[in-house]
């Protein structure tokens, strides 16, 4: 049977790996920091802070996934976002004015 400290440490490492910028890679100083916090809480037997941190990291990761899924215009430029929004509501944008393409007036 694993100790609660080991369980929380492994859960923290799993969550850190899952939410890393480059998936699967974990910063050693970050892991060491979590380990020191867990070791400090091991003496008291209370792991509330670690559990709260785990819930926060999991929630942030899930929020990022949902935001990418349901708001796909997040990485668009302002013009692309405007075009996507008008298409979504069933409209079309008029052609934008370009002075270089202006035809000569007779």
Per-residue pLDDT reduced to its tens digit, 43-87: 887 888 889 989 999 999 999 899 888 887 778 888 888 888 888
* pLDDT value, residue 23: 67
pLDDT tens digits, residue range 7-37? 888 888 888 888 877 766 777 888 888 888 8
Q: Is 79 part of a structural domain of the chain?
A: yes
Q: Which domain holds residue 61?
A: 4-91
> Taking the chain, what is the end-to-end CA distance rounded to the nearest angstrom?
89
Give the single-character DSSP code of 97.
Answer: P
Q: Is 35 part of a structural domain of the chain?
A: yes
HSE of 77 in the Cβ direction (CA atoms, 13 Å)?
Answer: 2
Q: How confident is the model at residue 105 (pLDDT cuts 50, 70, 90)?
A: low
85's CB contacts (< 8 A; 6+ apart) are: 73
**What is the number of domains present in the chain?**
1
Q: Is 104 part of a structural domain of the chain?
A: no
Q: For the chain, count helices (H), then strands (E).
A: 4, 0
Q: Is 102 part of a structural domain of the chain?
A: no
Q: Is 100 part of a structural domain of the chain?
A: no
Encoded tokens for 15: 């969550």
Tell whether the model's pLDDT for residue 101 goes beyond 80. no
Residue 14's Cβ-count burial label (10 Å; 0-12, 13-18, 19+) is middle
* pLDDT value, residue 42: 81
Q: Is 97 part of a structural domain of the chain?
A: no
């Amino acid at each position: 049977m694993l100790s609660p400290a080991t369980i929380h440490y492994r859960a923290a490492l799993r969550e850190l790996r899952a939410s890393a910028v480059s998936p699967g890679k974990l910063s050693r100083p970050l892991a060491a920091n979590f380990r020191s916090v867990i070791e400090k809480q091991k003496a008291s037997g209370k792991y509330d802070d670690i559990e709260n941190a785990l819930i926060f990291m999991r929630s942030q990761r899930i929020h990022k996934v949902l935001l990418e899924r349901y708001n796909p215009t997040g990485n668009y430029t302002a013009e692309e976002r405007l075009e996507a929004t008008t298409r979504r509501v069933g409209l079309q944008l008029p052609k934008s004015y370009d002075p270089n393409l202006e035809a000569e007036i007779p």
